[in-house]
Amino acid sequence: MGVLADSAVLVRLNISVWGASKRNKTLEQEVARNKNADPKAMRMYDNLMVGSTGHSDVYKQAAEARLWHTQNTNPFDERGYRFCPTSLFLDYKIRHNQKRDNFWELVDTFRVKYLSYRETARAYRGDMFNEKDYPPVEEVMSKFAWNFTVAPVPDSGHICIDLPEKELAEVRASCDKEVERRFEAAMQENETRLKKELRLISGKCDDTGHVSYYEDTRRWHDSFITNPLKLCEMLKHTNLTQDPKVEEARQILEELMRGKSKDMFKDSPDLRAQAKSKVDSIIDKFDW
């Protein structure tokens, strides 16, 4: 476990955002009566910040940060801790700080404009507007939170409790076994991400059913290139066990996408066929 403890740390990110919505039971009952339905058959919520973007800006920033955190770490336990390789941690922490600061800047803007946002919502909500739906700004601000925690990978060598040597050895062995299990699951995430990306490329480059250029309805985005390359860069760090399957697939995928553009794939049936053949060969070889 010493090698693992030195090669990764655990990180946990929890972000909270005020919901800015409230269930409208009165409207549920009105609609139910008009539709001859039971009110239990529906759930209707009021958008308390309708008409302005301040709250949605905060919400989007939080969602983007959660996604970034998930994509750049591997799962560890049910409490939300995730593996982050030590070789990635400095870059991870710098980007984390940037996202955290952006989040709080947007929250502060929301705080300053909260009352004006409420008045905008009044105009949009009409007779549904209720002053009591809007808590004082101090209460609303308490609903926003950004909690980030860094912890070492558990090491049984650090367990110091007063037990007979035999029992202490059993406790340490149990700790090591559990960490190893979670570590293996985290490494499995590398394969899962690769499989997903390879299958997406295979499907996108499959010309079956696309009879001609004019009948091709596929949409090509920059992410078709950037997502695989980002994954390949990350796998250089997260493949802590140096799994040869992961490394071979990573190298082939990086070589395939490096120096390419979405338009090259869009305009070249030969390139699409070549790409599909390569990724399919990896999928078949490793039974992915």
List pLDDT tens digits, range 17-36: 999 999 989 888 999 999 99
The answer on 128 and 189 residing in a single domain is no
Q: Which domain holds residue 251?
A: 164-285
- Tell me the pLDDT tens digit for each residue of 53-74: 999 999 999 999 999 999 999 9
Amino acid 161: pLDDT: 46
The answer on 172 and 34 residing in a single domain is no
pLDDT: which is higher, 252 or 180: 252
Average pLDDT over residues 241-263: 96
Out of 113, 133, 153, a domain closes at 153
From the number of C-beta atoms within 10 Å of its C-beta (0-12, 13-18, 19+), residue 206 rates as middle
Query: Would 219 be classed as within a structural domain?
Result: yes
The answer on 117 and 69 residing in a single domain is yes
Cα(first)–Cα(last) distance of the chain, in Å? 29
Amino acid 148: pLDDT: 97
Out of 120, 153, 186, a domain closes at 153
Query: Would 78 be classed as within a structural domain?
Result: yes
Out of 97, 132, 153, a domain closes at 153
64-87: burial string, b at 16+ Cβ within 10 Å, e else: ebeeebeebbbebbeeebbbbbee
Can you say how many angstroms the Cα of residue 182 is from the centroid of all Cα atoms in its chain?
Answer: 19
Amino acid 198: pLDDT: 97
Q: Is the predicted pLDDT of residue 1 greater than 60, yes or no?
A: no
Query: Would 158 be classed as within a structural domain?
Result: no
Q: How many domains does the chain have?
A: 2
Q: Is the predicted pLDDT of residue 117 greater than 90, yes or no?
A: yes
The answer on 206 and 124 residing in a single domain is no
CA distances from 18 to 70, 140, 246 (A): 22, 7, 41
The answer on 197 and 269 residing in a single domain is yes
The answer on 169 and 128 residing in a single domain is no
Q: Is the predicted pLDDT of residue 207 greater than 70, yes or no?
A: yes
- In this prediction, what percent of the chain has a pLDDT beyond 90? 72
DSSP lists the bridge partners of residue 83 as 10, 74
The answer on 114 and 234 residing in a single domain is no
The answer on 99 and 15 residing in a single domain is yes
The answer on 149 and 7 residing in a single domain is yes
Query: Would 120 be classed as within a structural domain?
Result: yes
Handedness of CA 177, 68, 146, 47 (dihedral sign): negative
CA distances from 131 to 46, 110, 113, 268 (A): 13, 18, 16, 59
Q: Which one of 18-22, 126-130, 205-209, 238-242 scores highest in mean pLDDT?
A: 18-22
- The answer to whether 44 and 27 have CB atoms below 8 angstroms apart is yes
- Tell me the pLDDT tens digit for each residue of 148-181: 999 988 764 444 444 455 554 554 566 667 777 8
Q: Which of 50-64, 198-212, 241-255 is predicted with the least confidence, judged by mean pLDDT?
A: 198-212
The answer on 61 and 169 residing in a single domain is no
The answer on 62 and 108 residing in a single domain is yes
116-132: burial string, b at 16+ Cβ within 10 Å, e else: ebbebbbeebeeebeee
Q: Is the predicted pLDDT of residue 83 greater than 50, yes or no?
A: yes
Q: Is the predicted pLDDT of residue 42 greater than 90, yes or no?
A: no
The answer on 122 and 9 residing in a single domain is yes
